[in-house]
């Protein structure tokens, strides 16, 4: 299997440690929040990738998870609710040299911003989409989320949820993503590894992180439960190039906690960015100077 690496500069001489990517801003999260582990895993992955912080753009929407960019030393952009993906795509297209990360949550990413996911996947712009999925709206204090299970009682579903949850893994597989993985801060090494792999993957990479909400989450969704329940795909001998098998495993979202790379396209398709660069190169020579652009409006019969 080939692993193309477009994100890391080939001969980076500078050594980085995770601390180089951690800002001194104090997180607003509750003590014990899963997101602390996610920021640690991300900074570990970034230290291995060894791109300096100023070459990284870290975009997010709104929610507990979306605070993450501020806790790193990268150029952060904490945008509006649900729109991190389009904004991140604009950044990557405007400057393909940047390493672009997106952080989101289950509500930000699969409810208000759910419409953008399919398009980010099919467009295949080289960004890494990390969703911290805790099955609850934590920032607004405990409302139903799109990944909350049917029957779940919350302050906005006092008598139990009447709807089925979204399956983020299956959706993204169905949209045709080339890199799909899942992790939990209960397995820090594994989480840092899949984030690094996602960043190194040449194209759109999706990483669902089961990141527990200690305040409003259910007991069986906490890190302690993860440690008991999680099943390593690698240990299971899962072949990550097997799309059909990956799709089958994705169906178990909500009942099984698989960790590791679910699917990695062995032949990564051309990214949108590559297409853009080729087109720009091909068309460059036919450009008239900008100040002569109006000449095209001279009438001819």
Partner 1 sequence: MSEDLIIGIAGSGGDGVISAGESLLTAAALEGYHCVMTKSFGSQIRGGEASCRLRLATQPVLNPNGPLDVAVALNWDDFKRFGAELPVEAATIVIYESNTGVAADKLPLPGVKPAVVFSVPITAMAAEHAGTDKAKNIVIAGLIAGWFGIGRESVVAGIRKKFAKKGAEVVEGNVRAFQAGLDFATANPLPQDRKLSTPQSGGQAKLLTDGNDMCAAAAIFAGCTFFGGYPITPSTEIMQFLDREIWKYGGTVLQAEDEIAGIGAVVGASFAGKKAMTATSGPGMSLKTEILGLASLAELPLVCVNVQRGGPSTGMPTKAEQSDLFQAAFSAHGDCLRPVLAPTCVADIFEVTVEAFNLAEYYQTPVIVLSDQEIAQRKETVDPIDTSKFQIIERRHPSGPELTNYARFKLTESGISPISHPGMVGGNYLCAGIEHNEQGRPTASGEMHARMNEKRFNKFNPLKNRRDLFTVEGDSDAPIGMVSWGSVAGVAREALRLAQAEGLQVKLLVPRLLYPVAETVYQDFFASVQRGLFIEQSYQAQLYRIVRMNVDLPTQVKAFAKSGSNPILPSEVLKRLREMVVSIQGNQQHQPEAVQD
Instruction: Write out the residues near partner 1 by the rule CB under 8 A.
Output: 25, 52-57, 59, 62, 69-70, 73-80, 83, 85-95, 97-98, 115-116, 118-119, 276, 279-280, 282-284, 286-287, 290-291, 293-294, 296-301
Nearer to partner 1 (CB atom), residue 127 or residue 249 = 127
Q: How many whole angstroms separate alpha carbon 63 and alpha carbon 81?
A: 8
- Of 166 and 181, nearer to partner 1 (C-beta) is 166
Alpha-carbon distances of 123 from 81, 116, 182, 189, rounded to whole Å: 21, 11, 21, 30
Q: How far apart are CA 211 and CA 195, in angstroms?
A: 14
Q: How far is the CB of 130 from partner 1 (least distance, A)?
A: 17
CB of 100 to partner 1, least distance (A): 9
Q: With respect to partner 1, which residue has the nearer C-beta, 73 or 167?
A: 73
Judged by DSSP in three states, 78 sits in: strand
Of residues 8 and 93, the one with the C-beta less far from partner 1 = 93
- Residue (235 or 290) nearer to partner 1, CB: 290
Q: Name the minimum Å distance from CB 153 to partner 1.
A: 31
Nearer to partner 1, 176 or 254 (CB): 176
Measure the CA–CA gap between 299 and 152, rounded to whole angstroms. Answer: 67
Question: What does DSSP say about strands 179-183 and 258-264: parallel, antiparallel, or unpaired?
Answer: antiparallel
Q: How far apart are the first and last CA of the chain?
A: 58
Neighbours of 158 (CB within 10 A): 7
Sorted by sequence, the CB contacts under 8 Å of residue 34 that are 6+ apart come out as 132, 134, 184, 185, 209, 210, 211, 212, 213, 214, 223
Neighbours of 154 (CB within 10 A): 18
Q: How far is the CB of 174 from partner 1 (least distance, A)?
A: 16
CA distance 283 to 39: 42
> Min. distance of Cβ 264 from partner 1 in angstroms?
25
Write the CB contacts of 123 (distance below 8 Å, at least 6 apart in sequence).
Answer: 89, 204, 272
The Cα–Cα gap between 168 and 146 comes to 10
Cβ closest to partner 1, residue 37 vs residue 53: 53
Phi, psi of 114 (to 5 degrees): -60, -30
- Measured distance CA(282)–CA(294) in Å, rounded: 22
Closer residue to partner 1 in complex, CB, 74/194: 74
Q: How far is the CB of 208 from partner 1 (least distance, A)?
A: 21
Shortest Å distance, C-beta 277 to partner 1: 10
Minimum distance of partner 1 from residue 283's CB (angstroms)? 4
């Amino acid at each position: 299997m080939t692993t193309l690496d477009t994100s890391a500069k080939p001969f980076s001489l500078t050594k980085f440690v995770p601390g180089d990517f951690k800002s001194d801003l104090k997180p607003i999260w509750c003590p014990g929040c899963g997101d602390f582990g996610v920021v640690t895993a991300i900074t570990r992955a970034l230290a291995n990738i060894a791109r300096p912080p100023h070459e990284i753009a870290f975009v997010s929407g709104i929610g507990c998870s979306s605070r993450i960019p501020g806790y790193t030393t990268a150029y952060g952009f904490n945008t509006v609710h649900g729109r991190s993906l389009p904004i991140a795509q604009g950044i990557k297209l405007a400057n393909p040299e940047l390493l672009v990360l997106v952080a989101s949550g289950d509500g930000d990413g699969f409810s208000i911003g759910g419409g953008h996911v399919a398009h980010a996947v099919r467009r295949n712009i080289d960004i890494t989409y990390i969703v911290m999925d805790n099955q609850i709206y934590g920032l607004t204090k405990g409302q139903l989320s799109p990944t909350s299970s049917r029957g779940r009682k919350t302050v906005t579903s006092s008598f139990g949820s009447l709807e089925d949850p979204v399956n983020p893994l299956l959706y993204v597989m169905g949209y045709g993503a080339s890199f799909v993985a899942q992790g939990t801060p209960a397995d820090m090494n594994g989480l840092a590894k899949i984030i690094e792999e996602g960043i190194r993957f040449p194209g759109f990479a999706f990483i669902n992180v089961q990141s527990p909400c200690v305040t409003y989450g259910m007991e069986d969704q906490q890190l302690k439960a993860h440690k008991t329940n999680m099943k390593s795909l690698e240990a299971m001998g899962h072949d990550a190039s097997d799309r059909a098998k990956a799709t089958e495993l994705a169906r178990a979202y909500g009942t099984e906690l698989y960790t590791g790379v679910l699917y990695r396209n062995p032949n990564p398709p051309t990214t949108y960015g590559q297409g853009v660069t080729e087109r720009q190169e091909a068309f460059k020579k036919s450009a008239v100077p900008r100040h002569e652009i109006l000449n095209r409006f001279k009438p001819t019969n």
